[in-house]
Amino acid sequence: MRALTVVPQHADTAALTDLPDLRPDDGELLVEGIAVGICGTDREIVQGRYGWPPPGHDRLVLGHESLGRVRHAPPGGDFTAGDLVVGVVRRPDPVPCGACARGEFDMCRNGRYTERGIKELPGYGSELWTVETDYAVRLDPKLERVGMLMEPASVVAKAWEQVDRVGARSWYEPRTALVTGAGPIGLLAALLGVQRGLDVHVLDLADDGPKPAAVSALGATYHSRPVAEVTDQLHPDVVIEATGVGRVVVDAMGGTAAYGIVCLTGVSPAGRTIPVDAGATNRELVLENDVVVGSVNANLRHYAVAADALAAADPDWLAGLITRRVPLGRFAEALTARPDDIKVVLTLD
């Protein structure tokens, strides 16, 4: 079977590799890959700036935003051949730490977690893959074209849960949410915000192309203006930050309403410095009881919320987020970002 593989920490090593066909272990599904979504993390791995191969191997099978169809399931279990499934990305650390021991591997405390397609476990970018039934999630069959959005949706479901839990410190009835960045994470964050009944605003640099249209189709408001201008107008109760751009992050922190919550989801490269008025930022956070919270990955609870959110969304709107579908044999095209991309997927079938 063919798989997209890389040598992590070495740039430009992405290649199609022929791997022996897989046999599922007890308690595992054998899955025919339909597609994998490509995200910034995959591109960082391809550029040699992130990622770790499985111990004893040079190459890592890429791909963590999975979608496939079960070919073989253990008899008598919850899955049957033909089910549409995604595989969960992270596995608990082997110790395990207290969080991993409680199923909250997204909050791993010792950093020894593993991740499919990212950290020490083969990814889902192959024609066939296996997954433990405990880490497989069944999707509504109507999500066949868009189910690879499930993993980014799970990341967003976790981010919204963090906002709720931080908000629960005191009386909390948020009305206005600002999402910075109209990539897949930002647009899915906007979708979940609208589903919660919030007045959602999305900010991005693009002033044409598919992003403004996707935001208006949700009933949210699109802005292509500096963050500080937008926050001065809106005073958002919540900001979901999905750019990872330093200036945007700092301006968002200084621009919320009192008791504002900024949830950071963007993984930025290190080494970019900007001037920050640390005194003003500190003063604002203290005097307003503001919170800035980082959020990464997702556990099974968040996958369940994401599955419901996607099932409740307009399938055509979701399909509109997928701006390119590239067959596995032309993987290099999928790995190169283009200005009008929202989500690029690699098709495996």
Query: Shortest Cβ distance from residue 93 to ligand BGC (Å)?
Result: 13
Binding to ligand BGC in span 188-227, by CB under 6 A? none
Among all residues, whose Cβ is closest to ligand BGC?
Answer: 41
Query: Shortest Cβ distance from residue 309 to ligand BGC (Å)?
Result: 16
268 Cβ neighbours under 8 A, 6+ residues apart: 244, 245, 246
Helix then strand then coil, in percent of the chain rounded to 5, is 35, 25, 40
Binding to ligand BGC in span 102-131, by CB under 6 A? 115, 118
Query: Shortest Cβ distance from residue 126 to ligand BGC (Å)?
Result: 18
Query: Shortest Cβ distance from residue 43 to ligand BGC (Å)?
Result: 10
Q: Tell me the sheet residues that pair with 202.
A: 179, 222
Task: Give whichever of 154 and 231 is closer to ligand BGC, judged by the CB atom.
Answer: 154
> Which runs of E-coded beta strand occur in 73-157?
84-87, 90-91, 114-116, 120-121, 128-132, 136-138
Q: Are 50 and 86 in contact (CB under 8 A)?
A: no
Q: How far is CA 105 from CA 101, 132, 135, 166, in A?
A: 8, 16, 12, 19
Query: Shortest Cβ distance from residue 64 to ligand BGC (Å)?
Result: 6
Based on the shown chain and the rule CB under 6 A, indicate whether residue 296 belongs to the binding site for ligand BGC. Answer: yes
Binding residue (CB under 6 A) for ligand BGC from 114, 180, 295, 297: 297
∠ CA 237-157-109, nearest 5°, is 100
String of contacts with ligand BGC for each residue 49-68, x by CB under 6 A: ---------------x----
Query: Shortest Cβ distance from residue 91 to ligand BGC (Å)?
Result: 11
Based on the shown chain and the rule CB under 6 A, indicate whether residue 306 belongs to the binding site for ligand BGC. Answer: no
Give the three-state DSSP class for 114. strand
Based on the shown chain and the rule CB under 6 A, indicate whether residue 89 belongs to the binding site for ligand BGC. Answer: yes
Distance CA 153, CA 312 (A): 13
Binding residue (CB under 6 A) for ligand BGC from 39, 62, 305, 326: 39
> What secondary structure does DSSP assign to 31-66, as a single string?
EEEEEEEE-HHHHHHHTTSS-BPPTT-S-EE---EE
String of contacts with ligand BGC for each residue 140-159, x by CB under 6 A: -----------x---x----
Give the three-state DSSP class for 174. coil
Task: Give whichever of 206 and 296 is closer to ligand BGC, judged by the CB atom.
Answer: 296
Query: Shortest Cβ distance from residue 199 to ligand BGC (Å)?
Result: 27
Binding residue (CB under 6 A) for ligand BGC from 41, 126, 231, 299: 41
Distance CA 28, CA 130 (A): 6
Q: Are 186 and 204 in contact (CB under 8 A)?
A: yes
Contact residues toward ligand BGC (CB under 6 A) are: 39, 41, 64, 89-90, 115, 118, 151, 155, 296-297
